[in-house]
Protein backbone atom coordinates (compact mmCIF):
# COMPACT_ATOMS: atom_id res chain seq x y z
CA UNK A 1 0.00 0.00 0.00
CA UNK A 2 2.81 2.46 0.76
CA UNK A 3 4.27 1.95 -2.72
CA UNK A 4 0.93 2.98 -4.23
CA UNK A 5 0.79 6.02 -1.95
CA UNK A 6 4.26 7.14 -3.01
CA UNK A 7 3.39 6.56 -6.64
CA UNK A 8 0.21 8.64 -6.32
CA UNK A 9 2.03 11.53 -4.64
CA UNK A 10 0.08 11.23 -1.43
CA UNK A 11 2.94 12.60 0.74
CA UNK A 12 2.98 15.79 -1.34
CA UNK A 13 -0.78 16.12 -0.98
CA UNK A 14 -0.54 15.64 2.79
CA UNK A 15 2.25 18.23 3.04
CA UNK A 16 0.18 20.71 1.02
CA UNK A 17 -2.77 20.20 3.33
CA UNK A 18 -0.67 20.60 6.47
CA UNK A 19 0.97 23.81 5.22
CA UNK A 20 -2.32 25.09 3.69
CA UNK A 21 -0.71 25.55 0.28
CA UNK A 22 -2.60 23.96 -2.55
CA UNK A 23 -0.09 24.02 -5.37
CA UNK A 24 -0.88 22.08 -8.50
CA UNK A 25 0.73 18.65 -8.30
CA UNK A 26 -0.66 16.88 -11.34
CA UNK A 27 -0.79 19.53 -14.01
CA UNK A 28 0.97 22.68 -15.08
CA UNK A 29 -0.63 26.01 -14.18
CA UNK A 30 -2.59 27.72 -16.94
CA UNK A 31 -1.48 31.25 -16.02
CA UNK A 32 0.61 32.61 -18.87
CA UNK A 33 -0.82 30.19 -21.44
CA UNK A 34 -2.51 31.54 -24.56
CA UNK A 35 -6.08 30.78 -25.58
CA UNK A 36 -7.77 31.72 -28.87
CA UNK A 37 -11.49 32.45 -28.60
CA UNK A 38 -13.20 32.04 -31.95
CA UNK A 39 -16.38 34.08 -31.96
CA UNK A 40 -16.57 36.99 -29.56
CA UNK A 41 -20.28 37.27 -28.99
CA UNK A 42 -21.71 37.27 -25.48
CA UNK A 43 -20.46 33.75 -24.70
CA UNK A 44 -17.03 34.31 -26.23
CA UNK A 45 -16.59 37.56 -24.31
CA UNK A 46 -17.55 35.81 -21.08
CA UNK A 47 -15.07 32.99 -21.74
CA UNK A 48 -12.34 35.52 -22.58
CA UNK A 49 -13.06 37.46 -19.39
CA UNK A 50 -12.79 34.33 -17.22
CA UNK A 51 -9.58 33.27 -18.96
CA UNK A 52 -8.03 36.70 -18.38
CA UNK A 53 -8.93 36.49 -14.68
CA UNK A 54 -6.99 33.22 -14.55
CA UNK A 55 -3.93 34.99 -15.94
CA UNK A 56 -4.16 33.65 -19.48
CA UNK A 57 -3.29 35.56 -22.65
CA UNK A 58 -6.46 35.83 -24.73
CA UNK A 59 -6.72 36.29 -28.48
CA UNK A 60 -10.26 36.88 -29.73
CA UNK A 61 -11.16 36.37 -33.38
CA UNK A 62 -14.44 37.26 -35.09
CA UNK A 63 -16.03 35.00 -37.67
CA UNK A 64 -14.54 37.29 -40.31
CA UNK A 65 -11.03 36.66 -38.98
CA UNK A 66 -10.43 40.07 -37.43
CA UNK A 67 -8.53 40.23 -34.14
CA UNK A 68 -10.30 41.73 -31.16
CA UNK A 69 -8.24 43.31 -28.39
pLDDT in tens, 34-56: 988 888 888 988 989 998 998 99
Secondary structure (3-state) at 28: coil
Tell me the C-alpha distance between 51 and 32, whole Å. 10
Looking at the structure, tell me whether residues 21 and 41 fall in a common domain.
no
What is the domain count for the chain?
Answer: 2
Looking at the structure, tell me whether residues 63 and 42 fall in a common domain.
yes
Looking at the structure, tell me whether residues 36 and 65 fall in a common domain.
yes
Laid out side by side, the sheet with 57-61 consists of 34-38, 57-61, 67-68
Average pLDDT over the chain, rounded to an integer: 80
Q: What is the b/e burial string over 28-60, where b = at least 16 CB atoms within 10 angstroms of the residue's CB?
A: eeeeeeeeebeebeeebeebbeebeeeeeebeb
Looking at the structure, tell me whether residues 21 and 36 fall in a common domain.
no
Mean pLDDT over 27-38 rounds to: 84
Name the residue range of residue 48's domain: 31-69
Rounded to two decimals, the pTM is: 0.56
67 Cα distance to chain centroid: 23
Looking at the structure, tell me whether residues 10 and 36 fall in a common domain.
no
Amino acid sequence: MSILMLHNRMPAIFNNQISATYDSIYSTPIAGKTVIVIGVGSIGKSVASHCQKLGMNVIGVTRHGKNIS
